[in-house]
Amino acid sequence: MAIRDWPQAERPREKLLSRGAGALSDAELLAIFLRTGVAGKSAVDLARELIGAFGGLRPLLDADLKRFSAAHGLGAAKYAQLQAVLELARRHLAETLQRGEGLNDPMAAERYLRARLRDLDHEVFAALFLDAQHRVLAFEVLASGTLDGAAVYPREVVKAAIRHRAAALIFAHNHPSGSVEPSAADRALTERLRQALATIDVRVLDHLVIGEGPPASFAARGWL
């Protein structure tokens, strides 16, 4: 049955408009993006099939052009549209953090840092630089490495804090393996950075380890 023949309250687009995007399933959200199905399948049917074939919504969204375009009902045009949507989401998160208001919601920083770092295939160490009112001054990648780690030098981090005139920082780095459990090396590095930044009166508010699932927070564990 075509979606236009469904009860109006159950059609994905109308459902979103009346109840909000959070009320929709992954397949329904994807169906709105796809707009149309293929012969014998509605957009929702096609969306369910694609999510199953890719092993979930995230693998579908993370697929490269070749694999994405090879799927039935997709192609280069849809891939370009999807990449544009994902980049819009990242930029929206960035602007949300940079509106000049204090960073009173820790989840806002977490969402942004996850969007920036979660899907990278190499380790990256980055920081959000904040002013005295915890307003975001800048996001900067401080080091990039291989799957085994990234070289981070306290002196360079201190120089970056001075350059941005920061009063506080939130560090974040990703674990490409997916594990969010901080290593002993992660803890030792964070302590070295905290001590180095203390010499210029810059506070480290948190260090987030990004991987699969919710990030690990050093602050939440009482390590800062």
Are 36 and 71 found together in one domain? Answer: yes
Are 47 and 21 found together in one domain? Answer: yes
Distance CA(59)–CA(74), nearest Å, equals: 15
Reported as a single tens digit per residue, the pLDDT across 54-75 is 998 888 888 888 998 888 888 8
Number of domains in the chain: 2
Are 127 and 149 found together in one domain? Answer: yes
Are 140 and 120 found together in one domain? Answer: yes
Q: In what order do the strands lie in the sheet with 168-174?
A: 136-144, 124-130, 168-174, 203-210, 216-217
136-144 vs 124-130, strand pairing mode: antiparallel
Q: How confident is the model at residue 106 (pLDDT cuts 50, 70, 90)?
A: low
Query: Given 91, 112, 128, which residue is the final one in a domain?
Result: 91
Q: Is residue 222 situated within a structural domain? A: no
Are 111 and 185 found together in one domain? Answer: yes
Are 158 and 68 found together in one domain? Answer: no
Range of the structural domain that residue 186 is part of? 103-217
Residue 92 has pLDDT above 80, yes or no: no
Query: Given 64, 91, 118, which residue is the final one in a domain?
Result: 91
Are 117 and 192 found together in one domain? Answer: yes
Q: How confident is the model at residue 161 (pLDDT cuts 50, 70, 90)?
A: very high
